[in-house]
Every structure is written in structure tokens, then in C-alpha cells.
Amino acid sequence: MAIRGGDDSSDWLDYYVPTGALDKAGVPYWDGRPFYRSAVLDDWLAGVGTATFERAPFSLGVIGWEVSGCTDAATLAGRLPQERGIGYLLPQQEGLLYGAAND
């Protein structure tokens, strides 16, 4: 789903996979943490984001349960938060940095 930002916002591309589809594919998506957190699923989505970045660079990617609009690239100023409840794909000079959720 594409979300067009206003004058003081940016454009977003929300990509999601319904949990029913994950069930059918046999993909584990919940490991007991709140909001269907799964390192396996997060890493898979980070791979999708990385492949997307190679064709269509972006300023920030966020990975997790309902993360659209939770932060922006300007707020992060090129740095990953130390404690991360969500995953981040953050462009750096040497390439795309993936900071997995760690709390």
C-alpha cells in the first residue's frame, strides 16, 4: 500500500503479509513476544527491504507490527537506536544497515 505524505511528511510503502498466508506457508511468525514478534520473519522482511533498496533506494525502512509512521529518517539522523523494539533498515555510505529488534 502506498501512502503519499503531505507537505511536512514523506511517502511510505507499507508491505505486509497476512498471518493466514504465513500459516499456510508454514512460516513461524510468533515466538511468544507481544505483537507477533519473530526474528525469522523480521530477517525475511529485511531481505525483502534490502532487495527493494537495490532497485529503488529509500531513506528508511522499519520492520515490525504496525510500524507505519512510527519514526522517520530525519529523527534518526543516520543512527540506529541502541534499544530497538522494531527493526530498521538505514542507508549508510557503505550500504544498507539492518538493525534488528533487540528488546
pLDDT for the residue numbered 97: 95
The DSSP call for residue 69 is T
pLDDT for the residue numbered 27: 75
pLDDT for the residue numbered 66: 79
- Rounded to 5 degrees, φ, ψ at 66 are 50, 65
| CA–CA separation, 20 and 102 (whole Å) | 26
Per-residue pLDDT of the chain (103 residues; tens, 9 = 90+): 667 666 555 667 777 778 788 889 887 777 676 566 778 888 989 999 999 999 988 889 999 877 878 888 889 999 999 999 899 999 999 889 999 998 8
pLDDT for the residue numbered 20: 86
| CA–CA separation, 73 and 47 (whole Å) | 19
Using an 8 Å Cβ cutoff, are 73 and 96 in contact? no
At 28, is the secondary structure helix, strand, or coil? coil
pLDDT for the residue numbered 50: 94
pLDDT for the residue numbered 49: 92
The cell numbers describing 2, all together, are: 502506498
The DSSP call for residue 79 is -
pLDDT for the residue numbered 1: 67
